[in-house]
């Protein structure tokens, strides 16, 4: 690495999650994860990702020390990337991320400790952004979003939400690159749910390839039918994300393109208020959503 390259330290910690966000990150095509780890993400700036339990080679107490040394050496200067919700029931006992001297370290404790000294917290995925599936009713683990856990602990830190179940690789890498390039986003850069407008600024429904069918009133009865998928549960009219124009898997396809209704996976109300998957959105739910998001 050139001595002129600025290092931005970052740690990625994982709470209650399926690790799907990490898998999605590994699918990044341009830049790749190798580029992320080795090269400057943007000219002159390199993200020094010092901890990621799923992809790092190390294990055990030595790697837990890395979290501590990163925090101590860079107070207020590292990005905290969080995948998964914060488990709080029974003092967070049901989600531990390592051990020190034979004692469990709960995700809740480590997250709050690291958040306190971070530059900002970037929530990777719907679970850390909004609670997601771990926080779905009846939520036996007491799972909470990062914002809720921070507020309850009285910790004030900038939070950026990058939801999705999982998020598109571009949303994760693009958000981190934006912070490295321009600094922390201003209020105008984020929407009401703290999502970057660059990726979550429009409804799926606005640019959907099946929109002409919706406007013409031609609705599919099965996933294999031609037509708009609204009648079989599409949540595109209440979901803010750019899947319909960005596409997934390096531009190959996306949920609606492959015949599945949009599940609303980027929304704060996912999954409790977006399910059942194949049930048509009723006017009442849609109206409540539009009032909430558009004022
Ligand atoms: S398939 Fe979904 S997003 Fe596309 S037009 Fe129909 S309701 Fe809207
Ligand atoms: S189309 Fe809908 S369910 Fe599919 S990834 Fe995008 S927001 Fe999530």
Going from the first residue of the chain to its last (295 residues), give the mean pLDDT of each consecutive group of 10, the final group possibly shorter.
78 98 94 85 89 93 94 97 98 94 95 98 98 98 98 98 98 94 95 98 96 97 96 96 97 97 97 93 77 62
Q: At what angle do helices 146-153 and 107-116 cross, to 10 degrees?
A: 70
Q: Kindly list the structural domains of the chain, giving each domain's residue range(s) and its CATH number in brackets, ordered by start.
A: 6-198 (3.40.50.700), 202-294 (4.10.480.10)
Strand 86-87 versus strand 79-83 pairing type: unpaired
Which residue is associated with the tokens 């997934």? 248
Q: Give the atom of ligand 2 at the shortest distance from the alpha carbon of 168.
A: 5
Q: Give the atom of ligand 1 at the shortest distance from the alpha carbon of 237.
A: 8
Active site residues: 18, 21, 127, 165, 205, 208, 228, 234, 243, 255, 262, 265
pLDDT in tens, 264-282: 999 999 999 999 999 998 8
Q: Give the atom of ligand 2 at the shortest distance from the alpha carbon of 267.
A: 7
Ligand nearest to the CA of 207: 1
Ligand nearest to the CA of 225: 1
Instruction: Write down the pLDDT at residue 41.
Output: 77
Residue 82 CA to ligand 2 center (angstroms) comes to 20
Name residue 160's beta-bridge partners.
122
Q: Which of 46, 47, 51, 44 is nearest to 70 (CA)?
A: 51
Instruction: Write down the pLDDT at residue 294.
Output: 60
Query: Does the C-beta of 211 come closer than 6 Å to ligand 1?
Result: yes
Residue 171 CA to ligand 1 center (angstroms) comes to 22
Token pair for residue 138? 């009846």
pLDDT in tens, 221-255: 999 999 999 999 999 999 999 999 999 999 999 99
Query: Does the C-beta of 203 come closer than 6 Å to ligand 2?
Result: no
- Helix, strand and coil content of the chain, in percent to the nearest 5, comes to 40, 20, 45
Ligand nearest to the CA of 244: 2
- In order of 27, 59, 257, 292, the CA distances from 269 in angstroms are 26, 35, 23, 11
Query: Does the C-beta of 229 come closer than 6 Å to ligand 2?
Result: no
């Amino acid at each position: 690495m050139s001595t002129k390259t600025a290092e931005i330290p970052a740690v990625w910690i994982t709470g209650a999650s399926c690790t799907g966000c990490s898998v999605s990150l590994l699918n990044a095509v341009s830049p790749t994860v190798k580029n992320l780890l080795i090269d400057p993400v943007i000219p002159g700036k390199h993200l020094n990702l010092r901890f990621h339990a799923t992809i790092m080679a190390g294990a055990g107490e030595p790697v837990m020390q890395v979290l501590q040394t990163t925090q101590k050496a860079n107070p207020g200067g590292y990005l905290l990337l969080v995948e998964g919700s914060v488990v709080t029931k029974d003092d967070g006992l049901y989600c531990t991320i390592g051990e020190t001297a034979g004692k469990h370290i709960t995700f809740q404790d480590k997250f709050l400790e690291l958040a306190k000294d971070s530059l900002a917290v970037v929530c990777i995925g719907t679970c850390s952004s909004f609670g997601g599936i771990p926080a779905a009713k009846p939520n036996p683990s007491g799972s909470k979003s990062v914002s809720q856990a921070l507020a309850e602990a009285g910790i004030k830190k900038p939070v950026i939400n990058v939801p999705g179940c999982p998020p598109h690789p571009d949303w994760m890498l693009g958000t981190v690159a934006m912070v490295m390039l321009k600094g922390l986003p201003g209020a105008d850069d984020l929407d009401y749910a703290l999502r970057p407008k660059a990726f979550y600024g429009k409804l799926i429904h606005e640019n959907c390839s099946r929109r002409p069918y919706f406007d013409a009133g031609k609705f599919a009865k099965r996933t294999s039918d031609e037509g708009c998928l609204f009648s079989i549960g599409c949540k595109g009219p209440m979901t803010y994300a750019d899947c319909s124009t960005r596409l997934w898997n390096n531009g190959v396809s996306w949920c609606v393109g492959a015949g599945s209704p949009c599940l609303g996976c980027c929304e704060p109300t996912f999954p409790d208020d977006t399910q059942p998957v194949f049930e048509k959105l009723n006017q009442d739910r849609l109206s409540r959503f539009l009032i909430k998001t558009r004022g």
